[in-house]
């Protein structure tokens, strides 16, 4: 089998990694997997079933039969839950916090990681998430840790959500991002962490093209 290219992009929410991952996947003509969407869909399932997103017993009762599918339609990832396209629904603010909570459960992470490794196994791809370089694909060819200050990340998320028509309070949004940062980096199993061999990029004062060019310059080397 031909050698495949694997790229891991990790970092906290709002760091711009999904935008960069999409650009890389286009430029390099490789698959893009947004792993956060998978945790978000799992959280949506729990919300629908009225299962507490911290309740490992409750979540483990549905996780193995979770009907979650990742499809690629017109070149973009679509997330299906129980046959329904939930790609927009999973972006709603209450799903964001629920996803951060549910992602701390080991039964959820084991299931998601198994699916992610399977999708990534036979194809060149770029995955974005929290634990891609440190846990999901420790042998990735390139690993990047993309971050930005909380203020800048909150501003980006605020813009994105208001453009989508959500009514959001900036201070509340910033607090939620801080809370998610804390949750994501303090969970016991596969937390958000910079892999030792990941390249660190602070995007606070960079635009998307600047970051993409910086990342591409490493890949072309
Ligand atoms: O990237 P995102 O904001 O869409 O991710 C939503 C949540 O999912 C995030 O708060 C933490 C969790 N997540 C994770 O734990 N591991 C990943 N690889 C991706 C996301």
Residue 47 predicted with pLDDT over 80:
yes
**Which residues have any ligand 1 atom within 6 Å of their CB?**
13, 35-36, 39-40, 99-100, 103, 129-132, 180, 184
Residues 6+ away with beta carbon under 8 Å from 50: none
* Whether the predicted model's global pTM rises above the 0.85 cut: yes
Q: What is the structure's pLDDT at 54?
A: 96
Ligand 1, atom 10, residue with closest C-alpha? 100
Q: What is the structure's pLDDT at 60?
A: 97
Give the total residue count for the chain: 221
Ligand 1, atom 6, residue with closest C-alpha? 36
Q: What is the largest CA-CA distance in the chain?
A: 51
Q: What is the pLDDT of residues 67-110, one digit of tens each?
A: 999 999 988 999 999 999 999 999 988 999 999 999 999 999 99
Please state, in angstroms and rounded to a whole number, the distance separating the CA atoms of residues 151 and 153.
6
Please state, in angstroms and rounded to a whole number, the distance separating the CA atoms of residues 40 and 92.
10
Ligand 1, atom 18, residue with closest C-alpha? 129
Q: What is the structure's pLDDT at 150?
A: 97
Ligand 1, atom 14, residue with closest C-alpha? 130
Average pLDDT over residues 207-219: 93
Burial 82-113 (b: 16+ CB within 10 A, else e): eeeebbeebebeebbebbbbbbbbebbbebbb
Average pLDDT over residues 163-174: 92
């Amino acid at each position: 089998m031909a050698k495949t290219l694997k790229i891991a992009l990790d970092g906290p929410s709002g760091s711009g990694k999904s935008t960069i991952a999409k650009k890389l996947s286009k430029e390099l003509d490789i698959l893009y997997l947004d792993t956060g969407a998978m945790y978000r869909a799992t959280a949506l399932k729990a919300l629908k079933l009225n299962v507490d997103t911290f309740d490992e017993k409750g979540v483990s009762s549905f996780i193995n039969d979770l009907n979650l599918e990742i499809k690629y339609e017109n070149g973009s990832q679509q997330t299906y839950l129980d046959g329904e396209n939930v790609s927009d629904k999973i972006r709603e603010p209450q799903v964001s916090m629920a996803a951060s909570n549910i992602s701390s459960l080991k039964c959820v992470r084991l299931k998601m990681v198994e699916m992610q490794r399977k999708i990534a196994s036979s194809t060149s791809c770029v995955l974005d998430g929290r634990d891609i370089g440190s846990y999901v694909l420790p042998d990735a060819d390139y690993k990047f840790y993309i971050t930005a200050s909380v203020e800048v990340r909150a501003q980006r998320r605020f813009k994105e959500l208001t453009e989508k028509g959500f009514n959001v309070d900036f201070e509340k949004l910033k607090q939620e991002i801080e809370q998610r940062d804390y949750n994501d980096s303090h969970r016991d199993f596969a937390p958000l962490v910079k892999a030792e061999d990941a390249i660190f990029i602070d995007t606070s004062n960079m635009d998307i093209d600047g970051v993409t060019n910086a990342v591409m310059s490493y890949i072309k080397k």
